[in-house]
Chain A
Amino acid sequence: MTRTDVDTPTPSPAPRERRRFGSSGLGLGFVIKLVLVALVDALGVYGLLAAYAVGHWGIITTLAIGLVVVNWVYFSRKAIPAKYLVPGLAFLLVYQLFVMLYTGYVSFTNYGDGHNSTKSDAISAILLQNDRRVEGSPTLPMAVVQKGDELGFAVIEEDGQVWVGTADQPLEAAPDAVVQDGRITEVPGWDVLSYAQVIERQADVLELRVPVSDDPNQGAVRTQNGTSAFASRSIYTYDADADTMTNTDTGAVYRPNDQGVFVSDDGAQLTPGWRVAVGFDNYVAMVTGSDLSAYFFQVLAWTFAFAILSVGTTFALGLFLAVVFNDERIKGRRAYRSLLILPYAFPGFLAALVWRGMLNQKFGFINEALLGGANIPWLSDPWLAKLSVIGVNLWLGFPYMFLVATGALQGLPGDVMESARMDGASPARIFRSITLPLVLVATAPLLIASFAFNFNNFALIYMLTGGGPNFPDATVPIGATDILITMVYATAFEGGARDYGLASAMAIVIFIFVGVISWAGFRRTRSLEEI
């Protein structure tokens, strides 16, 4: 028996069948994979170098880990599922998960205008911005030079030696530079700008300070005409050991405080400051004691009112129309249906803008054409603006509810309705006791999702009213129709001083609300069972 087995082995189907799928391993797929991974690696290495150049350690770490993971996953034979998951998860981690966590981090800092960067950046900025010509310092012949897009100065020191530097690169000797008649005509590696070129970039040239050395206390070289330079030095000196700023004119000493600013004993502050962790200050400022806190609860209440009324009105109208059209005898139901969903098909951002024009107080279609020249301030009266927002959202949202409710009505058990009718229940009674509860149960998850969506319906509010009419004495432009998310936008980008920290704290509050709302809706769906 065994012998026959060995002599006439049953031909394995594999070799023949394999041809149907081509040779695996080093085929076209492998080449594509190699090229793609090589491309990712090349970009990654470039990024590592660039990030190292600007000293961005967060990006360096992320890139390094990313590169190791990508190469391991795509060249290992084991991690097959990972090969399919890595691209999507990479984007998800950076642009969704990280930004959510980063929102949380920023909400505990004072990141914003005046606190945009690190402490050492703030120190250099203070020293450079408050400079003045060093008394008795010589006027030195110089030329403006350029490398790529970067401007620099070439200066002839009193000993005849030429020095070159830029804003980021302190002066260093350039022994090969050519000097003719006391003018610098050539600096190796640099283009010497002509007078016309200097005029062209006048503003940049006047702004430029080339540090004398790595120590910002040493001062810098600057110019007022592009041909002669002088030494300037800050009126402040920074003492790294004591961590203090001293004003050399008045002798006042400024110490860093826990808000990320240098403050003198009499309370004077130096700007800019730097980013520091401020604990729960932003959350406290949100609800009490700041310019915004006076309006926070008002906005919060309107956010809930808007979301609830939006869902309520759209659902009511949608259900009403669905009931009206839920009758086989109506001719042209399809035509009605496809016309009724047009507002939902129309891009939402355009709808808000169209309505904004139609509701214009002086020239809008509603006042002029429909109301015969009335002068109703639809968008500039606080209460009418709220009404308008709800009204426009009704137009935008009811077709969706109509579709949903129609679907739910068609799924209702006919025998129950029939027996209710037999028992003599009136149509109103059937609707109240049977139809409505059943439809509500069927559509509850969608209603909750709709609530969550409207809770953050930024585009509608921002485009229709811009949140206005604005509260007259708010420092940040927020108004009667602002909801939380538009308030976040105003705080972060539209106020006199951008305040990313406070804006992020408000975003975190929205996260919490949305999380609770979604969780409520989530428990009603079966998504969890599918895992």
Chain B
Amino acid sequence: MASDVATVRGQQTTLEHKPPRSRWWREVGWRHVIGVVAIAYCLLPLLYILSASLNPGGSLTGSNQLFKTIDFTNYSDLGSTDFSTWAVNSLIVASVTAVGTVLMCASAAYAFSRFRFTGRRATLTGLLLVQMFPQTLAFVAIFLLLLSIGDVFPVLGLNSRLALIAVYLGAALGTNAFLMYGFFNTIPRELDEAAKIDGATHAQIFVTIILRLVAPILAVVGLLSFIATYGEFVIARVVLQTPENFTLAVGLYNWAADERNAPWGLFAAGAVIASVPIIVLFQFLQRYIVGGLTSGSVKG
């Protein structure tokens, strides 16, 4: 309604004649002024880090004149550091977690949405309760648990990327199962009943019918989980202990927090490379992220 009124009014004005300049300023122009100021506020740190990454001096002071020099030394210097290892670690950990999350949540959502079994309500309610408590709060206990598991399965103990993935997967159902459950419920049951009459097993219905119909939400949950895992810091910091196992979050923190000889140029170049894929992904996912927040998943 509001937009209707506005368009009607807009058409009227264009039909008659252009509004006088002063009125334009009073009603629209000032909004552009605020917009430009806001955008400057948004962009300044981003431009600053981009400029610092192109400054070969590599110190904080040297980075204060924006775009004084354009030089890719920092980027090529990254090659001789652990940066590529961290990037690969982050990609592996985030991808495996994303795929695992999608598989486990889709299966769970299928079970909740298509079967009626004893304990269903209790499990759903339990999930809702668990969802209230972020896993990160228990990082001390996670550390102690991995300390014990390490005695038995060293590969699932401290300082292991696999253990980190396992911990992240522990939070999968709590964060995303409900989002998927709601979506699965919108797929008409008649479809699977028809397939069942045709002799399809429950697994065939799941793989060949349901999963294909919910493919978009699977992609969204996977990408959201990827972004959240990619940026996760606390648990990664507690679990990973040696540089060859670090993810980008832990590794770049160590660079930037090094007060004495902070490799600021390297950090800046690393930050630019690390953030570009996320910013691109984000543009596609914008509306799902805002929507997803309503259903309880939070960007990390």
Which A residues contact B (CB, under 8 angstroms)? 14, 17-18, 20-22, 24, 29, 47, 50-51, 54, 56, 58-59, 80-85, 87-89, 91-92, 94-100, 102-103, 106, 111, 321, 324-325, 327-330, 336, 338-351, 353-358, 360, 363-365, 368-369, 395, 399-400, 403-404, 407, 412-415, 417-418, 445-446, 449, 453, 456, 458-459, 462-463, 466, 485, 488-489, 492-493, 500, 503-504, 507, 510-511, 514-515, 518-519, 522, 525, 527-528, 530-531
Smallest CB-CB separation from A101: which chain B residue? B141
Q: How many residues of B contact A (CB 8 A)?
A: 120
Chain B residues within an 8 Å CB radius of A51:
151-152
B8 → chain A, closest Cβ, in Å?
A: 11
Determine whether B78 belongs to the interface, using a CB cutoff of 8 Å to chain A: no
B287 → chain A, closest Cβ, in Å?
A: 9
Q: Which of A47, A106, A329, A363 interacts with B28 by CB under 8 Å?
A: A329
Q: Which of B186-226 contact A (CB under 8 A)?
A: 195, 197-204, 206, 208
B19 → chain A, closest Cβ, in Å?
A: 9
Bound-complex Cα distance A80 to B27 (A): 63
A24 with B204, Cβ < 8 A, contacts A96-B130, A353-B253 known: yes
Bound-complex Cα distance A458 to B21 (A): 50
Chain A residues within an 8 Å CB radius of B171:
92, 95-96
Chain B residues within an 8 Å CB radius of A87:
103-104, 107
Q: Which of B137, B178, B200 interacts with A456 by CB under 8 Å?
A: B137
B242 → chain A, closest Cβ, in Å?
A: 16
**Residue contact A81 to B294, C-beta cutoff 8 Å:** no
**Residue contact A339 to B48, C-beta cutoff 8 Å:** no
Determine whether B99 belongs to the interface, using a CB cutoff of 8 Å to chain A: no
A47 with B153, Cβ < 8 A, contacts A92-B130, A330-B28 known: yes
Determine whether B76 belongs to the interface, using a CB cutoff of 8 Å to chain A: no
Which B residues contact A (CB, under 8 angstroms)? 1-7, 10, 27-28, 31-32, 34-35, 38-39, 41-43, 45-46, 48-49, 52, 59-61, 63-66, 103-105, 107-108, 110-111, 115, 117, 120-121, 123-125, 127-128, 130, 132-145, 148-149, 151-153, 166-167, 169-174, 177-178, 181-182, 185, 195, 197-204, 206, 208, 230-231, 233-234, 238, 249, 252-253, 256-257, 262, 264, 267, 271, 274-275, 278-279, 282-283, 286, 290, 293-296, 298-300
B290 → chain A, closest Cβ, in Å?
A: 5
**13 further interface pairs, Cβ-Cβ under 8 Å (given A100-B138, A329-B28, A339-B39):** A17-B197, A80-B202, A84-B107, A96-B170, A98-B145, A99-B170, A327-B31, A328-B3, A328-B10, A343-B42, A363-B64, A369-B64, A399-B42
Q: Which of A324, A347, A504, A514 interacts with B278 by CB under 8 Å?
A: A347
Chain A residues within an 8 Å CB radius of B28:
327, 329-330
Chain B residues within an 8 Å CB radius of A85:
107-108, 111, 123
Q: Which of A59, A80, A345 interacts with B115 by CB under 8 Å?
A: A80
A79 → chain B, closest Cβ, in Å?
A: 9
Chain B residues within an 8 Å CB radius of A59:
148-149, 152
A368 with B166, Cβ < 8 A, contacts A329-B28, A347-B274, A527-B128 known: no
Bound-complex Cα distance A56 to B142 (A): 17
**Residue contact A347 to B143, C-beta cutoff 8 Å:** no
Bound-complex Cα distance A351 to B262 (A): 17
Chain A residues within an 8 Å CB radius of B234:
458-459, 462, 485, 489
Bound-complex Cα distance A11 to B6 (A): 65
- What are 15 A-B pairs with beta-carbon distances under 8 A? A21-B200, A50-B151, A56-B151, A99-B138, A103-B141, A324-B34, A342-B43, A343-B45, A348-B299, A354-B48, A357-B267, A493-B238, A500-B140, A507-B140, A515-B132
Smallest CB-CB separation from A326: which chain B residue? B2
Chain B residues within an 8 Å CB radius of A407:
290
B224 → chain A, closest Cβ, in Å?
A: 13
Bound-complex Cα distance A87 to B142 (A): 19
A338 with B238, Cβ < 8 A, contacts A59-B149, A527-B128 known: no
Chain B residues within an 8 Å CB radius of A92:
127, 130, 170-174
Smallest CB-CB separation from B104: which chain A residue? A88
**Residue contact A530 to B120, C-beta cutoff 8 Å:** no
**Residue contact B45 to A358, C-beta cutoff 8 Å:** yes
Bound-complex Cα distance A504 to B166 (A): 22
Smallest CB-CB separation from A351: which chain B residue? B45
Bound-complex Cα distance A356 to B271 (A): 13
Smallest CB-CB separation from B142: which chain A residue? A99
Q: Which of A324, A349, A413 interacts with B253 by CB under 8 Å?
A: A349
Chain A residues within an 8 Å CB radius of B208:
21
Q: Which of A54, A96, A530 interacts with B174 by CB under 8 Å?
A: A96
Bound-complex Cα distance A432 to B197 (A): 59
**Residue contact A24 to B104, C-beta cutoff 8 Å:** no
**Residue contact B275 to A81, C-beta cutoff 8 Å:** no
Q: Which of A89, A458, A504 interacts with B136 by CB under 8 Å?
A: A458
- Shortest Cβ-Cβ A-B pairs, 10 listed: A95-B170, A414-B1, A414-B2, A88-B104, A345-B282, A518-B132, A363-B60, A84-B111, A18-B199, A353-B256
B249 → chain A, closest Cβ, in Å?
A: 5
**Residue contact A418 to B64, C-beta cutoff 8 Å:** no
B58 → chain A, closest Cβ, in Å?
A: 12
**Residue contact B120 to A50, C-beta cutoff 8 Å:** no
**Residue contact A321 to B38, C-beta cutoff 8 Å:** yes
**Residue contact B63 to A365, C-beta cutoff 8 Å:** yes
Bound-complex Cα distance A178 to B172 (A): 59
Q: Which of B172, B185, B200, B286 interacts with A403 by CB under 8 Å?
A: B286
B159 → chain A, closest Cβ, in Å?
A: 14
A514 with B137, Cβ < 8 A, contacts A54-B152, A89-B173, A92-B174 known: yes
Chain B residues within an 8 Å CB radius of A351:
45
**Residue contact A29 to B256, C-beta cutoff 8 Å:** no
A349 with B231, Cβ < 8 A, contacts A328-B3, A530-B182 known: yes
Bound-complex Cα distance A466 to B258 (A): 12
A531 → chain B, closest Cβ, in Å?
A: 5
**Residue contact A99 to B48, C-beta cutoff 8 Å:** no
Bound-complex Cα distance A54 to B115 (A): 42
**Residue contact A345 to B279, C-beta cutoff 8 Å:** yes
Chain B residues within an 8 Å CB radius of A58:
148
**Residue contact A347 to B34, C-beta cutoff 8 Å:** no
**Residue contact B104 to A340, C-beta cutoff 8 Å:** no
**Residue contact B141 to A325, C-beta cutoff 8 Å:** no
Chain A residues within an 8 Å CB radius of B290:
400, 403-404, 407
Smallest CB-CB separation from A103: which chain B residue? B141
Chain A residues within an 8 Å CB radius of B238:
493
**Residue contact A324 to B170, C-beta cutoff 8 Å:** no
Chain A residues within an 8 Å CB radius of B117:
81-82
**Residue contact B2 to A88, C-beta cutoff 8 Å:** no
A504 with B181, Cβ < 8 A, contacts A51-B152, A99-B145 known: no
**Residue contact A106 to B43, C-beta cutoff 8 Å:** no
Chain B residues within an 8 Å CB radius of A342:
42-43, 46, 279
B143 → chain A, closest Cβ, in Å?
A: 7
**Residue contact A354 to B45, C-beta cutoff 8 Å:** yes
Q: Which of B7, B199, B264 interacts with A17 by CB under 8 Å?
A: B199
**Residue contact B48 to A358, C-beta cutoff 8 Å:** yes
**Residue contact A96 to B148, C-beta cutoff 8 Å:** no
A345 with B2, Cβ < 8 A, contacts A21-B204, A95-B142, A485-B137 known: no
